Structure formats: structure tokens, C-alpha cells
Amino acid sequence: MAEIVTRSLIAEAGLDDRVTVSSTGTGDWHIGNPANAGSVRALSARGYDGSRHRAQQLTAANLADYDLLIGLDTANVADVERLLQRHNDERRPQAALLRDFAPAGPPGLGVPDPYGMGDDAFEHALDLVEDACRGLVDHLRIHLQPSS
């Protein structure tokens, strides 16, 4: 959900020529699979197209492809941090929690995983994702200005 929403907001902000968004998981159990049907339904109901998404994995080998790695919960961020500890490249990406970009709300909160739950849980997760992604895009807009 976060990749699809962020891509849309990046395009609306006119940053799509400067920002590339890619969704990767820290585990290998879903590689190549489409997004969960509940996620696709929730996204579709709000005008997003999640049908082409396919899962891929973040590995130590592709860390250098990223400037910013965002986890949806604290376990994801911890997994990313463990990968980064083994990454000796001087161009080390930053890791952050998605909801820390949300304009309101306390830091340190994750997006609850709606997997195996009803449509309401996917809608709630998408509410949280959209709010945080708006804050993320605002953050990127400020940090990608020519003087920064």
C-alpha cells in the first residue's frame, strides 16, 4: 500500500523525475507474489491501482540502490537496521519508520498488519499509510529543494 500511495503522491508533487519508489520486504517468503487481495481492494476503492505490484526482497546486495529505507513497523525497521550494520559502503541509506512522517501523532508507531483480517482492517491501515505518506512527500519536497 505504501509504495502505491507514495508513487501517486510523488507524481502529484511533481517529484517523480527525482524520486524512485520501490517496495521490498525483509523476508523472502512472498517474492514474486502479488499484493494481498485485501490491500488491492482497499487501494482500488480509493482510486489506486495495486494490481501490478509484485513482492521483492531487500538484501545487503541492493542496499546501495536506496537513499531512504522506510519500514511500516518497528520489526521491519529493526530488520533493516541489522542489514545496514553489515553494510560497509560509505553511502549508507537512512532507515525510518513510516508513521514517524505523519503530521500528527506520536512517533514510534507502526502500521498494524491487516493480513488475515477483514476489509475494515485494510481500510484502517490505508488511512494510516496515506497520512504518513503525505508527511513523507512533504519531507522529501523540502529536502529535495535545489538549495538543500
Measured CA to CA in angstroms, residue 6 lies from 15, 85, 87, 133 at distances of 11, 27, 26, 6
Count how many domains the chain has.
1
Structural domain for 64, as ranges: 2-141
Angle at alpha carbon of residue 142, lines to 98 and 139, rounded to 5°: 10
Q: Exposed, middle or buried by CB within 10 Å (0-12, 13-18, 19+), for 27?
A: exposed
- CATH at 122: 3.40.50.2300
Q: Answer yes or no: pTM beyond 0.85.
A: yes
Strands (E), 3-112: 68-71, 94-97
What DSSP character marks residue 58? -
Query: Do the domain assignments include residue 148?
Result: no
Detail the DSSP E strand segments found in the chain.
Answer: 68-71, 94-97
Q: pLDDT tens track of the chain, all 148 residues? A: 999 999 999 999 999 999 999 988 887 778 878 888 999 999 999 999 988 888 888 888 888 788 999 999 999 999 999 888 876 666 778 999 999 999 987 899 999 999 889 999 999 999 999 999 999 999 999 988 765 4
Residue 48 has a pLDDT of 96
- Whether 53 maps to a domain, the answer reads yes
| The pLDDT of residue 147 | 55
Decide if 11 is inside a domain. Answer: yes
